[in-house]
């Protein structure tokens, strides 16, 4: 075995001496050396606590600057760049300060380990708490629809598994059922729930970060790599699946299952004596070379972990359609590469099959044939959810490309990071396996273009790990100022990219308090059996008494139907609302609907403004509710009937 040459210590200094009497620092330094390598040029940092102190001051400055920036943001001034368009200079300085603090906390001389999670926490506040504070309401239309399912359970005590509308939610209802029970205990109404869960992305992101720490620790002992990977995850998770939704709930449980399966549930595998089993053992050992070793837990802890995982698997199966399929793939990866018992994959498969056959039977009977027919045809619709940048507003196109560039950059950096780890001797087979585990889902679902964003969500943790590995491939690498400076620049740019990708559409996705008030009035006053004609689905919709109404979003109509409508809006809508199938009818037009339609070109330019003008001018229609951002019309002949 090759040994380093003996080192000599200069008398009176305590500094190890190498060849030629030069001080030894960095990787050459003896473990017991009394001096640490300084991170900044010119020996700027003189005392042991300088790095910690500067990092703490920068972190405090970030919080103060953020608080200063919040009152300066006016949500009414949003343009098609979204939140980025109203961020003041103080916010960007806050983001730079928290990035700098995190950069300093990764210095090997920083002894305050708490600074790293605190910096990640402040980053999450800056990215995820800013919109709900500035907008004052719950953003994104689907979050309001999810509250509508909670409201249904609160009023009826159960779901309707034969419901024709939002049927999947009624057949995978655990997330809504738990929320409804909690809301009942706290005596919350739909609007009160909405006011609380607007901060859901903050709590979900904090939960993800905590679980990822446990997962990444199973891939590396290097705290710099672990925390840098968590930072990268927070910044690259721009697809917005952390909002109040079953997907966010199921993803949290997915990470929980992985953390436990990579930890207490792993048992040492005995070496087979011969045959295929021995060859496979050697291959698996090679593929996972470099992974940290941890002590085996006791039988009681192992049993508790097994029960927790089985309970989490059942909750995932009862809450979401897609996540159990990805989880099954991940558990198979852990069985093949890490020696996890195959019983957990078998339990997942059995739970999925049982749920489809029993609780979700009404949905399965109606939808399964269509789902099966869509298998292997998913490629045809992979891009259907992508914004067509050739027909939309240039600012909207820039936002779309911002998210795409961030994703491509993360994938490229992750590839380079894996290569650097590989060349350094690590194989990371488990991390690579978990990275590719979601990919086969594209062939076995009929989610269409939506599946791309879901697959990316489940890939992000392991992409983030390899992006961080580009800077810290081994425990001894990445100690220089240059490496960490590049990381700081990349970290800031990724955070800025998140703001563009995640919040770039907030002119559409943000709903004003006036819009919430208008929608609330409508859902409280419209009778069951009412037709609701919407400019678009993009407003705070269906969060109360949703099953009582039939919805017709004009933006979803064919171009031929839109042309007919715009030829004579008042006459066409009057005919729709007079149909004998409806007890009553309303037309609701809002600011966010217009922003959505105009930005994405869903209707001809100014179409909703023209419809509003025609209804206002027509004697057949009467304006029954109005505020700054909402207009609600009904037929004049129907007003006296109420």
Q: Compute the distance between CA of residue 87 and CA of residue 91 in angstroms, rounded to an integer.
A: 6
Q: Return the higher-pLDDT residue of 268 and 314.
A: 314
* Nearby residues of 347 by Cβ (< 8 Å), 6 or more positions away: 310, 313
User: Which of the four pLDDT bands, split at 50, 70 and 90, describes residue 10?
Assistant: very low
Q: Among 189-193, 207-211, 214-218, 379-383, whose mean pLDDT is lowest?
A: 379-383
Task: Determine the pLDDT at residue 374.
Answer: 56
Q: How long, in residues, is the chain?
A: 642
**Cα Rg of the chain (Å, integer):** 28
- pLDDT over 50 at 340, yes or no: yes
* Model pLDDT for residues 20-56, shown as the tens digit of each residue: 444 443 333 333 333 334 344 334 443 446 889 999 9
CB 189 within 8 A of CB 231: no
Give the tokens for residue 637.
């002949």
Question: Can you list the pairs that 117-120 forms with residues at least 24 positions away whose Cβ atoms lie under 8 Å?
Answer: 117/209, 117/213, 117/227, 118/59, 119/55, 119/59, 119/231, 120/209, 120/227, 120/230, 120/231, 120/234
pLDDT at 268 (0 to 100): 75
Whole-number percent of the chain with pLDDT over 90: 71
pLDDT digits 0-9 by tens, 56-86: 999 999 999 999 999 999 999 999 999 999 9
Q: What is the pLDDT of residue 43?
A: 42
Degrees (nearest 5) of the Cα angle 16, 21, 26? 45
Q: Give the span between the Cα atoms of 424 and 290, in whole angstroms.
A: 10
Nearest to 416 by CA among 472, 484, 489, 496: 472
Q: What is the pTM of this model?
A: 0.89
| Token duo for residue 81 | 């760049």
What's the pLDDT tens digit per position in 425-435? Answer: 888 999 999 99
pLDDT tens, residue by residue, 543-566: 999 999 999 999 999 999 999 999
Side-chain-facing half-sphere of 25: CA atoms under 13 Å: 11
């Amino acid at each position: 075995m090759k040994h380093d040459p003996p080192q000599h210590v200069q008398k009176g200094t305590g500094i190890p001496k190498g060849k030629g009497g030069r001080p030894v620092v960095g990787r050459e330094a003896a473990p017991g050396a009394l001096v640490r390598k300084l991170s900044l040029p010119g020996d700027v940092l003189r005392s042991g606590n300088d790095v910690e102190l500067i990092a703490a001051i920068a972190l405090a400055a970030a919080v103060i600057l953020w608080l200063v920036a919040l009152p300066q943001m006016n949500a009414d001034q949003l343009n098609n760049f979204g939140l980025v368009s109203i961020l003041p200079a103080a916010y960007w300085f806050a983001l730079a300060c928290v990035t700098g603090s995190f950069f300093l906390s990764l210095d090997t001389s920083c002894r305050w380990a708490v600074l790293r999670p605190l910096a990640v926490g402040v980053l999450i506040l800056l990215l995820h708490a800013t919109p709900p504070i500035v907008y004052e309401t719950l953003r994104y239309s689907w979050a309001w629809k999810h509250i509508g399912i909670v409201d249904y359970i609160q009023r009826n005590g159960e779901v309707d598994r034969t419901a024709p509308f939002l049927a999947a939610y009624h057949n995978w209802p655990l997330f809504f059922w738990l929320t409804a029970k909690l809301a009942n205990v706290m005596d919350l109404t739909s609007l009160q729930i909405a006011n609380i869960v607007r901060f859901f992305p903050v709590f979900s992101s904090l939960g993800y970060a905590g679980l990822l720490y446990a997962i990444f620790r199973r891939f590396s002992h290097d705290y710099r790599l672990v925390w840098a990977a968590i930072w990268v995850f927070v910044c690259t998770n721009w697809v917005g699946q952390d909002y109040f939704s079953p997907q966010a709930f199921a993803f949290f449980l997915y990470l929980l299952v992985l953390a436990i399966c990579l930890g207490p549930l792993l048992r040492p595998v005995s070496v087979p004596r011969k045959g295929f089993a021995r060859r496979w053992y050697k291959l698996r050992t090679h593929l996972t070379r470099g992974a940290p070793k941890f002590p085996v837990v006791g039988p009681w802890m192992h049993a508790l972990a097994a029960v927790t995982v089985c309970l989490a698997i059942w909750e995932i199966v009862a809450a979401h359609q897609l996540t159990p399929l990805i989880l099954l793939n991940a558990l198979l990866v852990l069985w093949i590469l890490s020696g996890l018992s195959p019983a957990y994959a078998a339990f997942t498969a059995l739970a999925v099959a049982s749920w489809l056959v029993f609780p979700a039977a009404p949905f399965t009977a109606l939808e399964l044939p269509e789902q099966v027919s869509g298998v292997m045809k998913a490629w045809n619709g992979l891009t259907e959810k992508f914004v067509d940048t050739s027909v939309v507003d240039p600012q909207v196109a820039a936002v779309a490309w911002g998210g795409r560039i961030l994703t491509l950059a993360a994938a490229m950096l992750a590839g380079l990071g894996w290569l650097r780890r590989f060349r350094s001797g690590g194989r990371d087979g488990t991390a690579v396996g978990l990275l590719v585990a979601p990919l086969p889902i594209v062939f076995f679902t009929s989610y269409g273009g939506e599946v791309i964003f879901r697959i990316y969500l489940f890939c992000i943790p392991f992409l983030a790990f390899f992006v961080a590995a580009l800077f810290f491939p081994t425990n001894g690498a990445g100690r220089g100022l240059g490496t960490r400076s590049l990381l700081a620049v990349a970290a800031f740019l990724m955070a800025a990219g998140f703001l563009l990708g995640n919040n770039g559409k907030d002119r559409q996705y943000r709903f004003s308090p006036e819009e919430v008030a208008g929608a609330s009035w409508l859902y409280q006053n419209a009778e069951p059996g009412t037709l609701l004609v919407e400019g678009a689905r993009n407003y705070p919709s269906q969060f109360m008494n949703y099953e009582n109404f039939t919805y017709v979003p004009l933006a979803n109509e064919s171009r031929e139907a839109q042309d007919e409508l715009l030829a004579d809006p008042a006459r066409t809508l009057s005919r729709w609302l007079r149909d004998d199938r409806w007890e009553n009818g309303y037309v609701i037009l809002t600011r966010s609907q217009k922003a959505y339609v105009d930005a994405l070109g869903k209707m001809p330019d100014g179409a909703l403004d023209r419809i509003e003008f025609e209804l206002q001018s027509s004697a057949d229609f009467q304006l029954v509710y109005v505020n700054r951002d909402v207009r609600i019309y009904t037929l004049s002949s129907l007003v006296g009937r109420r």
